[in-house]
């Protein structure tokens, strides 16, 4: 079977104070070292705490990610933060999260630009896909996943994206996150998660030669109780964690469940 190093992300969203963020980083860092966790770990704090977090985790293998970033060049965009600026601080970028799609009405157009710009800047890219409640109820999950994947591989930029993935498979991660499971306490059935991950891998193989090497995370109310079951799934290589990543002990337990030491 293809080697895919497990990867767990902690998406803090719009949470934490500055002091709280530093404390969380510190606790994750300490536990990560003490428990000898063998999982790639990425923390996504709010923009404002990125440099504080970076100062704390810099000497470790824990990566730092941004939850969003503009692809526009420096210039007249009041309030904007672009990937060129961010790349001085971060290692990774979250792209296409359902909250960006739904709250900010962002679409594939932005996501494909982010996927390419992030690759040019040497960043790890995690692209989030997943069906919402209505789409699940009406049986259109697979159609939605195919569209969300296909849309970023369309056109000339799509070819560039395929090339960037084929030349560096670990730099591209897909997070399968059923929107109805995010922050709700509802978790998709493990056999459904496995089926959807297999489907996602097959879709990726239409655009890339290395789909076997692409890591797929599950996201949606992952916690320390359900992590083992998810970690046991053949096509799931990690988790994207929201709420539970705000608690260091819980987050570390999830990282441990996905750790190569315990699989
Ligand atoms: C997320 O926002 O990506 C997420 C999975 O959140 P939660 O773990 O809280 O469901």
Q: Which domain holds residue 33?
A: 7-258
Say yes or no: CB of residue 96 within 6 Å of ligand 1.
no
Query: How confident is the model over 90-110, as pLDDT tens digits?
Result: 999 999 999 999 999 999 999
Identify whether 97 is part of a domain: yes
Query: How confident is the model over 68-78, as pLDDT tens digits?
Result: 999 999 999 99
Q: How far is the CA of 7 from the centre of ligand 1 (A)?
A: 15
What are the tokens at 54?
Answer: 């970076």
Q: Left (φ > 0), alpha (ψ -120 to 50) or beta: where does 132 sit?
A: beta
- Kindly report the CATH number assigned to the domain that includes residue 106: 3.20.20.70
pLDDT for the residue 262: 64
Identify whether 1 is part of a domain: no
- How many structural domains compose the chain? 1
Q: How far is the CA of 221 from the centre of ligand 1 (A)?
A: 6
pLDDT at 2 over 60: no
Identify whether 2 is part of a domain: no
**Best of 188, 222, 230, 253 for a ligand 1 pocket test (most atoms within 8 Å of beta carbon):** 222
Say yes or no: CB of residue 238 within 6 Å of ligand 1.
no
Mean pLDDT of 201-214: 98
Q: How far is the CA of 246 from the centre of ligand 1 (A)?
A: 11
**Residue 241 alpha carbon, nearest atom of ligand 1:** 8
pLDDT at 260 over 80: no
Say yes or no: CB of residue 220 within 6 Å of ligand 1.
yes
Query: How confident is the model over 26-65, as pLDDT tens digits?
Result: 999 999 999 989 999 999 999 999 999 999 999 999 999 9
Q: How far is the CA of 109 from the centre of ligand 1 (A)?
A: 23
Identify whether 58 is part of a domain: yes
Identify whether 102 is part of a domain: yes
Mean of per-residue pLDDT scores for the chain: 96
Identify whether 263 is part of a domain: no
Say yes or no: CB of residue 177 within 6 Å of ligand 1.
yes
Query: How confident is the model over 151-203, as pLDDT tens digits?
Result: 999 988 899 999 999 999 999 999 999 999 999 999 999 999 999 999 999 99
Mean pLDDT of 131-150: 97
Q: Which one, of 220, 219, 128, 129, lies nearest residue 183 by Cα?
A: 220
Which residues have a Cβ under 8 Å from the Cβ of 93 and sit 6 or more positions away?
A: 65, 66, 68, 69, 83, 86, 114, 118, 123, 124, 125, 126
Percent of the chain with pLDDT strictly greater than 70: 98
Say yes or no: CB of residue 227 within 6 Å of ligand 1.
no
Angle at 213 between CA 143 and CA 158, to 5 degrees: 55
Catalytic residues: 97, 177
Say yes or no: CB of residue 219 within 6 Å of ligand 1.
yes
* Nearest residue (CA) to ligand 1, atom 1: 242
Q: Left (φ > 0), alpha (ψ -120 to 50) or beta: where does 131 sit?
A: beta
Determine how many CB atoms are found less than 10 A away from the CB of residue 53: 27
pLDDT for the residue 1: 47
pLDDT at 148 over 70: yes
**Which stretches within the chain are classed as H helix?**
18-34, 50-57, 83-86, 98-103, 108-120, 133-137, 141-152, 155-166, 190-204, 227-231, 248-258
Integer Cα distance of 178 and 170 in angstroms: 23
């Amino acid at each position: 079977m293809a080697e895919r190093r497990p990867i767990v992300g902690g998406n803090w969203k719009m949470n934490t104070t500055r002091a709280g963020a530093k404390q969380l980083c510190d606790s994750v860092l300490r536990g990560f070292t003490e428990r000898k966790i063998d999982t790639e770990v990425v923390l996504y704090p709010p923009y404002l705490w990125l440099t504080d977090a970076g100062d704390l985790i810099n000497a470790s293998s824990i990566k730092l990610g941004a939850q969003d970033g503009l692809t526009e060049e420096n210039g007249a965009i009041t309030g904007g933060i672009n990937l060129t600026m961010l790349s001085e601080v971060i290692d990774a970028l979250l792209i296409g999260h359902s909250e960006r799609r739904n709250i900010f009405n962002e679409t594939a157009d932005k996501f494909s630009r982010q996927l390419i710009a992030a690759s040019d800047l040497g960043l790890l890219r995690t692209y989030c896909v997943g069906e919402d409640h209505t789409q699940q109820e009406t049986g259109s999950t697979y159609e939605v996943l195919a569209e969300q994947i296909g849309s970023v591989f369309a056109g000339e930029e799509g070819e560039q994206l395929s090339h960037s993935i084929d030349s560096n498979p670990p730099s591209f991660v897909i997070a399968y996150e059923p929107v109805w499971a995010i922050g709700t306490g509802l978790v998709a059935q493990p056999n459904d998660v496995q089926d959807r991950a297999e489907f996602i891998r097959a879709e990726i193989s239409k655009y890339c030669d290395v789909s076997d090497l692409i890591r797929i995370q599950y996201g949606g109310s992952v916690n320390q109780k359900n992590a083992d079951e998810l970690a046991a799934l053949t096509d799931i290589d990690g988790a994207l964690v929201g709420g539970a990543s705000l608690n260091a002990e819980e987050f570390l337990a999830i990282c441990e469940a996905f750790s190569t030491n315990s699989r």
